[in-house]
């Protein structure tokens, strides 16, 4: 008797429960935003976008988490542009306000992204606070 005849497939995950692979891809959806540290910011959006586009038809949990990360990073990019515009229209005087706010936003981004990745790896659908849900 061959090994193939004795093989039984592992049980499928119950409906509504993410598989370990799906949890891992959900975590990657959040952590892919860190590519923005290397690419000068554009990776914050491109990383989650790529994972969402690749996994949206095959892994619902991973796609949901990548889309959540995408929306969060788009929201922060919009806030960053608003801070830059404020600094520009005040001829640099607004930097007294925008630099500390920008640093706080960076720290919040870092902490929230790590928290989201941990939760996704546990199979919990994480929702970022104060996020515009632009990508449905």
pLDDT in tens, 22-50: 999 999 999 999 998 888 778 899 999 99
**Is the confidence at residue 11, as pLDDT, over 60?**
no
Residue 18 domain-assigned?
yes
Q: Return the exposure string of 3-38: e unless at least 16 CB atoms fall within 10 Å of the residue's CB, then b.
A: eeeeeeeeeeeeeeebeeebbebbbbbbbbbbbbee
Q: Please state the φ and ψ torsions of residue 80, each to the nearest 5 degrees.
A: -60, -40
Q: What is the pLDDT of residues 46-66, one digit of tens each?
A: 999 999 999 999 999 999 999
Q: Rounded to an integer, what distance in angstroms lies between the CA atom of residue 81 and that of residue 122? A: 33
Q: What is the pLDDT of residues 88-109, one digit of tens each?
A: 999 989 899 999 999 999 999 9
Total count of domains within the chain: 1
Residue 109 domain-assigned?
yes
- pTM for the full predicted model: 0.84
Residue 64 domain-assigned?
yes
Structural domain range at position 39? 12-121
Residue 135 domain-assigned?
no
């Amino acid at each position: 008797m061959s090994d193939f005849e004795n093989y039984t497939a592992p049980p499928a995950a119950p409906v509504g429960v993410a598989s370990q692979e799906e949890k891992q891809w959900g975590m990657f959806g959040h952590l892919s935003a860190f590519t923005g540290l290397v690419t000068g910011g554009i990776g914050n959006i491109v990383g989650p976008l790529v994972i969402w586009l690749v996994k949206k038809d095959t892994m619902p949990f991973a796609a949901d988490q990548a889309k959540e990360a995408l929306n969060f990073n788009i929201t922060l990019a919009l806030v960053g542009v608003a801070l830059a515009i404020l600094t520009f229209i005040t001829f640099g005087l607004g930097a007294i306000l925008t630099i500390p706010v920008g640093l706080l936003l960076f720290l919040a981004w870092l902490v929230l992204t790590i928290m989201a990745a941990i939760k996704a790896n546990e199979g919990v659908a994480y929702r970022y606070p104060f996020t515009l849900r632009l990508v449905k």
